[in-house]
């Protein structure tokens, strides 16, 4: 009898190992969806890095709310994601440099069960600071600081109540140091990384994960004329892999920053 029981236990262990080898993606996606789904809001999602991040969460079974200002691009991305991943997609057309965008997003998602937020939007001028227009300075602060902070505050409140959720902020390697001719942009990105470090400590006991990624130069559909030929020839897509703990399974005392030179 003991021998038979031992055989059954070993057989069950082998079967479970086989199942996990055959269906690891499905199991991981189920856990990811339970923790960070069923809906994810992606701000700045009409192209480039934001679009690819939206595709990554959709590939894990999450429905997505795409936020961007260019309706034609947004609708095209939404249609493609629906077709490729068979998930639900909603769109919010709005300018992230405008104050009313935060309320617009809140109203759009108030009846959805949001489990995660990705803030990818960014803006910045280039050139000597004294050449910046009032509009450039204001728009940089609004997109990179004000809208981000309001959205982060609102979703942190929501996630703390439901005791789960994930927030990913896309900062920049420019945050690490002042950069001539990109001084204001770099400063706002430094603000983002510092903000996340504080919020991470505030919410992690509530089962809410907050992380900031600090990528280097990335070649997207609108490569910068300031990038080197080597940088503009890089393909960023293969590097965007979302592990189960992307939003931050950080050990006590660790820094909630994900440094990645793309």
Residues 165-214: pLDDT tens digits? 999 999 998 988 888 999 999 999 999 999 999 999 999 899 999 999 88
CA distance 44 to 41: 10
Reported as type and span, the H/E element at residue 30 is helix 24-36
Residues 28-51: pLDDT tens digits? 788 889 999 999 999 999 998 899
Q: What's the CATH class of domain 34-260? A: alpha beta
Is pLDDT of 221 > 90?
no
* Domain extent listing, the chain: 34-260
71 CB contacts (<8 Å, ≥6 apart)?
91, 93
Q: Mean of the per-residue pLDDT values for the chain?
A: 82
At residue 214, the pLDDT reads 85
Residue 188, SS3 per DSSP: helix
The angle at the Cα of 79, spanning 78 to 85, to the nearest 5 degrees, equals 85
């Amino acid at each position: 009898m003991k021998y038979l029981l031992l055989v059954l236990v070993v057989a069950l262990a082998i079967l479970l190992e086989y199942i996990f080898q055959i269906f690891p993606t499905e199991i991981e996606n189920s856990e990811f969806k339970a923790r960070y789904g069923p809906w994810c809001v992606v701000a700045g999602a009409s192209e480039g890095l934001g679009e690819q991040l939206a595709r990554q969460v959709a590939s894990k079974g999450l429905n997505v709310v795409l936020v961007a200002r260019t309706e034609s691009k947004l609708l095209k991305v939404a249609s493609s994601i629906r077709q490729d991943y068979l998930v639900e997609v909603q769109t919010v057309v709005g300018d992230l440099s405008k104050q009313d965008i935060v309320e617009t997003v809140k109203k759009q998602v108030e009846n959805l069960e949001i489990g995660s937020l990705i803030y990818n939007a960014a803006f910045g001028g280039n050139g000597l600071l004294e050449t910046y227009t009032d509009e450039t300075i204001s728009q940089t602060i609004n997109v990179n600081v004000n809208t981000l902070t309001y959205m982060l505050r609102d979703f942190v409140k929501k996630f703390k109540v439901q005791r789960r959720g994930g927030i990913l902020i896309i900062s920049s390697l420019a945050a690490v140091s002042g950069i001539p001719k990109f001084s204001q942009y770099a400063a706002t990105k430094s603000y983002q990384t510092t903000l996340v470090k504080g919020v991470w400590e505030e919410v992690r006991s509530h089962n809410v994960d907050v992380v900031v990624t600090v990528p280097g130069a990335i070649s997207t559909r609108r490569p910068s004329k300031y990038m080197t030929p080597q940088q503009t020839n890089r393909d960023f897509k293969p590097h965007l892999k979302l592990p189960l703990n992307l939003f931050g399974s950080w050990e006590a005392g660790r820094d909630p920053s994900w440094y990645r030179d793309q």
